[in-house]
Structure 1
Amino acid sequence: MSSLPVNVVPGVRLAAVAAGIRYKERDDLVLMELAEDSVAAAVFTQNAFCAAPVTVARQHLEKISPRYLLINSGNANAGTGDTGMAASYETCRLVAAATGVAMNQVLPFSTGVIGEDLPTDPFARSIPGLLSTLRQDGWQSAAAAIMTTDTVPKLASRSFTADGQKVTVTGMCKGSGMIRPDMATMLAFVATDARIDRTSLQQVLETAVQPSFNSITVDGDTSTNDACVLVATGQSGVDVADETTPAGQAFRQAVNEVCMALARAIVLDGEGATKLVEIFVEEAQSVQQARDVAYTVAHSPLVKTALFASDPNWGRILAAVGRAGVEDLDIGQVRIWLDDVCIVSGGGRDAAYTEAAGQAVMDKDAFTIRIALAQGQASTRILTCDLSYDYVKINAEYRT
């Protein structure tokens, strides 16, 4: 497994072990330790069947700042009712008992198969080992341990200097399938040594997830376990709460860039994906209208399979735009491009379009579908991927 360069975050230590929760001979349990006086912000899935750890993490975060994040892969602990809630509480209790912190200072996170009870014995056996191997440079092993169908660990890091002091933002995430986040992503954990109050940190996170994790889709499915956490240890001493200061602006840019890089990595690693496609919708009446059109195109199985085949079947894109629910759409004014190649104008195929030009774009590994609605001034961008044979195979065999 190749290593991705990341900057450590003072005040954060991580460890990963093979607990045997589901996988054999690979790490599947992570502990992330936060320095005292750290603050945390989070956004969670809007799926009504949210997983037990999501409920518990929300409850704990409302009462006190966390000292530990506990993350397991292989079992989502979702759709498990009261048994699942008890298991999540127990995993928190185990960490609290071993460290001396309050139980609600532990936030649990899970990812993996839905509907199976989460065994707690592997946690009891593994927590001592996790505590004894915590280290500042544990990001790489932690990112690998939280993977499920991911093929690569996903990490991103940015640093800037303010008041002569270096400030770092580093994050990791997992996600490959069941991706159309409705808040953040499958699981994402971003940390910084900047100093900031919790209210401001929450605002920074909510702003950052909208154009990043909230603007990607692999298959249109919102997970039961989605969570994105941003923690600040304050150990650099650089206050970034005021967004009008140079430090505040640099911090927000760094967080945005880390989230964008992680979100892009998820789409690049979409289950079976071979192409990265940006869908840019402009001239819409509202951002929501633009997003409705973009997601209709992105979620069309016919469009996605054409992308996989590198087939410039522009009629599929046209049809998706037409059924996106845009009121009073003047199809004669709609224009659609593949990169800079105009494929639709005047209600049909652009007069200058050639199959060869469309094919040249579709043969690329990454390109843009641009759609102008002639409705207004709003626009949006989302990232998606194609739908391949491997996507069906991976998900058909997920539990075997």
Structure 2
Amino acid sequence: MNIEAEDELLYRIALTHTDQIGYKFGRRLLHLFGSAKAIFNASPKQLKTIEGIGETKAKLFSAAPDLKKAAVEVEFILKHNIQPLFILDDNYPEKLKECDDAPLMLYYKGTQPLKHKKMVAIIGSRENTDYGARMTEELIEGLKLEDIIIISGLALGIDGIAHRKALQTGLPTIAVVAHGLDTIYPPQHKHIAREMVKHGGLLTEYPSKTIPDKYNFPMRNRIVAGLSDVTIVVETAKKGGAMITAKLAASYNREVAAFPGRTIDKKSEGCNYLIRTNIAQLITGADDLLEMMNWKNDNHGKAVQAKLFNHLTDEEMKIADVLGNAEGMHIDELLLKSSFNPAQLSAMLLTMELNGAVKALPGKRFRMT
């Protein structure tokens, strides 16, 4: 790392340590000034002209940033071969960058690039049943020949089972943790974590010496949801971290899937709720997931799609052009981008769905098959 890059890194870390600077406001300042150092070098007069910055916030930046604390973090990063990923960097995960509450800074230790085409989050209860363990293992077994990265949170229960099974089958797996990379929580998963660094990685938004505080876990969940193309809930009660992650994924317009369970099973109550309310699509295994995501027989799918296009009307082709390669577009966005009224659009989407050209997704979203 050259001197100029290390200097900017110091200011980037200092920015993340600055009080009252949230993710959205931090991104706005970076857009206006271009770099973290430029923000701190701005005059109070410049800062106060920005909407949302009053006297108090202007003083925060006018005061000298805590570069000593930041320097300690840089030393830790360099010593332990940790990769800092800033929101302005090209190697910052694109899918996560699309989320307006994405962290300004990530710390990553691993071998697997984070800009991967297919990323699947597998999450669930810390107190799983035998059914939950079996569904998790069978799902990952069914995905072992796919070019997929498994994402989870390294917690006890379904998370740990997912990471362990991914390692056994040779699938790369990444854990998003709720603490600094100077520790591993829970300690029972230290061995798994060591293996994951070689065959995936560990990711966090928290600097070293950050303990696994209970408030960090819901924040961690948004990264799991934001990184992934699809979040799969294997088993969960109606309240818990997995439910938070699933709802966050839906709010980011990402796919959500869930395994159904018996109505009398409390550990499946959350999954059944997600399916019943159309937040999640019901799946029973890897084949369902691949079909849901249009990842099954990709080459065959392209040939079928080309054949289907020959049978589309001119109006339906307009819809196909708008949908393009989108993983899922909400009907409201489709209305805005097309010239049809709601009744016309709904009728044509139904026809296209019946003809196999369009797939309806949870949350009133659609994509081409």
TM-score of the alignment, normalized to the shorter chain, above 0.5: no
Higher helix share: 2
Higher strand share: 1
In the superposition, the TM-score normalised over structure 1's length comes to 0.27
In the superposition, the TM-score normalised over structure 2's length comes to 0.29
